[in-house]
Structure 1
């Protein structure tokens, strides 16, 4: 047995946050059955909005959330189509959806209906907002529910600047990990008791969870957005070297490491100076900005390469502030299978991030690119007892869609 081999997941989702959860489960070895409308998951249309090309066979933008899946296309409003879906759910362990409550109830795919029919099922629901409150029925996207409402856009920029331009789906990927953790916990319960559970994750909650330090420290007076020239801890901040390379040092225990850090940075004359050697004092008397200024001046005297030697010698946690291009060229990312090379016939050689969870029984997971709408419909209908005549008839009646092209 390898990882989640033998675990079956039915997916009724769109866009990124919810589909990325089954992608992770698929990389762990689960069988993923993705059910799409005849027009396909709307994420199939999004590539050009990210500056990426696509065609009917290859779609690098869609692959990000939808690798390692089997592709079924069903008209959920057709009774025969819904019956086929119910057959797959009956045989599954997990159902993942991102549909809103009204649509789920209308289709007969809401939790109450599904759990009554299939009490064993683990039901994972990705939402924009919570199940309660004024936004419970609103559409929720990464950009709105996570980045905008979650405080990301207004907290990340330097104080006085405009909101940041967050990469698309930034919160979706993080929310997908949360949903994955939840459904795996529910799966353990299901395997022990035979009964499923409902797992709910919403984008807004995930953003606030990630913003905990800001949320809690703000109540003590911390500013968000803030200026890097006035951070409470000067040893946890970004600076620029003589050769204009931005880097970050991260040593939050300012008091403990003050003597060693200041000596390493050529500011040893401050050692023993009670006006500057504790966070309590520099923040109470607003001297933190002056310490940042002294560090800026010190770091501007050496190149980044020279500082790297000093940082390593003193075991000071640091890192160059990477651009996306830096990450794409980073040996560390390839050595640890964080970035995986992929080849596209029409788009050439690319790389894609793998999911961040590793099981020893699986190792570096297989990655299978997405397929066209309905690519596996016929195969799965035959697997679930339909005849070739049944498939042809139900397709003619508009219950299902089967891919007929070549790859």
Structure 2
């Protein structure tokens, strides 16, 4: 038994943040019914990169966030299609949507309407800026929220302009917030018997992640500068170029300073009492960083890492994506898995990174073909026969 077995999620969301959330919950046991637009489906089905096979091509973007779900096609602009959604919501535990503010209210599918037919429903609305506030009607994407939420302003090289991270951090972290919100609301429902509405703003989600940077502002009035890989409040914590032009990242606390100096033969720094504390090293950041940079520039990365790791100093090589995927620990932990796809055959995937005792572990499932489960879900959930499904499809509701 998986932890979320028996949980039914009606997923009206598209693109990345919420599909990522519902995929995580699906692989931990929830039944996720993904509702897609007839003919086209979730727009990420048309997003690159495409995996090619003799039987056709499939979006890798779509597959990355939509495994282990059922796909049904429903036209939300058609009254009969909306009736199907209302009937499915009447049986669901959770509904997830990320339409612009007011869209589903105009179609009679907002929380107020659906709570009438299912008071136990947990209804999560994920929008760019939330249901209220001066920005509520604005549109935005991941990078807009990174920019406005402060992350991009903190990221970049010394003296340089803002830089976005290499992953869509706002989308992915909002997906994690969505999963947390859903599970939290379900726990509340367990206690009260009633569902509720969750208003998740992706902008709010980014502001909430500012944590330590905001703490520096609250405590010191500081706006942390862009420092590349360096940490504003800890020295050393940075990536260093080694003799073979590879990079090694080191993050050390006070207890690591003496063994670090010994490993890198930094005798002058080791005997300087002021540098034995992080405060002293922060005050003399340029001196410390210059000395460490010189020492590491004289060593190949493998040798430098072996010395530091052997001395118990936290360090790790800066790996490219392809290096990560074949790393021995990644492989030993099963962090690259595969699913069987009807078009592509076996295809790699990154599993949910949780291991349980007392429940079955998450399993990697395959992403659905567009509308693959329409007949099965409507028959099982709503008792529709094939003739009724065909009739709804003919009238444009499915």
- TM-score, length-normalised on structure 1? 0.88
Structure 1 residues 120-129 or 298-307, which shifts more? 298-307
Judging changes above 3 Å, is the alpha-carbon distance between structure 1 residues 358 and 89 closer, same or farther for their aligned structure 2 residues? farther
| Equivalence for 2:362 | 365
**SS where residue 58 of structure 2 aligns?**
coil
Distance (Å, rounded) in 2 between the aligned partners of 1:43 and 1:258: 48
1:38-89 Cα shifts (integer Å, max 9, x gaps): 1211111212xx4765987733221111111111111122222111111111
Q: Higher mean Cα deviation, 215-224 or 73-82?
A: 215-224
Post-superposition offset of 1:226? 2.2
Q: 2:387: which partner in 1?
A: 389
Displaced runs of 4 or more, over 6 A = 54-57
CA distance in 2, matches of 1:56, 1:111: 39
Deviation readout 1:347-392 (Å, 9 max, x if unpaired): 5754221223344355443323222322111112222122222122
Quote the residue 2:112 is aligned against: 112
Task: From 282, 295, 301, give the equivalent of 1:304.
Answer: 301
1:246 corresponds to which residue?
247
Residue 201 of structure 1, CA deviation: 2.5
Alignment of 1:137-176 (within 5 A): 137-145=137-145, 147-167=146-166, 169-176=168-175
Aligned to 1:201: 200
The answer to whether the Cα contact below 8 Å between 1:230 and 1:288 also exists between their aligned partners in 2 is: no
> CA, structure 1 residues 346+390, in 2 after alignment: closer, same or farther (shift >3 Å)?
closer
Relative to structure 1, the CA distance from residue 22 to residue 228 in structure 2 (aligned partners, 3 Å threshold; closer, same or farther) is closer
Write the mapping of 1:34-113 to structure 2, written as runs, cut at 5 A.
Answer: 34-38=34-38, 39-47=40-48, 50=49, 58-113=58-113
1:323 is displaced (CA, Å) by: 1.0
Confirm or deny: 8 A CA contact 1:120 1:195 kept in the other structure: yes
Of 396, 399, 404, which residue of structure 1 is paired with 2:397?
A: 399
Measured in 2, the distance between the counterparts of 1:81 and 1:102 equals 18
Q: Distance in 1 between matches of 2:160 and 2:126?
A: 33
**2:289 aligns to what?**
292
| In 1: Cα distance, 2:352 partner to 2:277 partner | 41
8 A Cα contact 2:74 2:397, kept in partner: yes
Q: Note closer, same or farther for the CA distance 1:122–1:279 as it changes in structure 2 (3 Å cut).
A: same
Structure 1 spans left out of the alignment, 5+ residues: 401-407
Change (3 A) 1:244 1:374: same
Return the TM-score normalized by structure 2: 0.90
Matches of 1:155 and 1:234, distance apart in 2: 18
Q: CA deviation at 1:6?
A: 1.0
Q: Check conservation: 2:339, 2:349, Cα contact below 8 A.
A: yes
